[in-house]
Amino acid sequence: MPLFSVAGKQGSEVFWLAKAELTAVVYPKCQRVADQFGFELVDVALDRENTGKYLRIYIDREEGMDLDSCEKYHRAIQPLLEDYDYDFLEVSSPGLDRPLKTDRDLERAEGQEVEVKLFSPLEGKKEWSGVLKAFDRDSIVLDIGGAERTIARRACAAIRLCVDMSGVEEVDLTGSGEAWTEGEEKS
């Protein structure tokens, strides 16, 4: 689950933040602050929802993010974005199931199992999973049970690491020191 910090913005005279502005103005500011803290800027998105416009900034680092780091970044970036039209600012880690978008993302995922969702079916399937063997500007190569499958990157709607959740149900979330498995009687 991603870690995040959220804040709202009220009643200021601001203008609508166009996608071009997001790319040309907001992203460089976010990148500059990420660099200052030694974080990787993963993505910046402006999403319109029923409750308002969410400016979402996803950051990461090698050892992973914690809530204090998200909050520190949030406090540093918020004053730099006051002139832009959004209702809520969220700073978040991308989470374990983050989309793999850049060459750097794919490079880190090489040798690991990934799930690929396609825009259109390939041989009757829109979802493929296998070990990411290689990639280049135009395609990715998966090892699927010993057979290699090359898929065009432009055909991929999303590429994500497969997250193994086995054993999670046995984790002690109560602090009692006793693991609980679904189906067991809770004491």
For the chain, which residues make up each domain, given as ranges? Answer: 4-92, 103-161
HEC string of the chain equals CCCEEEEECCCCCCEECCHHHHHHHHHHHHHHHHHHHCCEEEEEEEEEECCEEEEEEEEECCCCCCHHHHHHHHHHHHHHHCCEECCEEEEECCCCCCECCCHHHHHHHCCCEEEEEEEEEECCEEEEEEEEEEECCCEEEEEECCEEEEEEHHHEEEEEECCCCCCHHHCCCCCCCCCCCCCCCCC
Q: Which fold has domain 103-161?
A: SH3 type barrels. (2.30.30)
Given phi > 0 = left and psi -120 to 50 = alpha, else beta, which region is 11? left
Closest CA to 59 of 89, 25, 19: 89
Q: Is the pLDDT of residue 179 over 70?
A: no
Which stretch of 79-83, 97-101, 153-157 has the lowest confidence by average pLDDT?
A: 97-101
Q: Is the pLDDT of residue 181 over 90?
A: no
Mean pLDDT of the chain: 84
Contact between 154 and 160 under an 8 Å Cβ cutoff? The reply is no
Domains 4-92 and 103-161 share a fold: no
What per-residue confidence (pLDDT) applies to 130? 96
Query: For the chain, what is the largest distance between any 2 Cα atoms, rounded to a whole number of angstroms?
Result: 59
What per-residue confidence (pLDDT) applies to 48? 87
Mean pLDDT of 93-108: 88
CATH entry 3.90.25.10 includes domain 4-92: no
What per-residue confidence (pLDDT) applies to 27? 93
Helix (H) or strand (E) holding 33: helix 27-37
* Whole-prediction pTM: 0.67
Mean pLDDT of 90-103: 88
Mean pLDDT of 150-171: 86
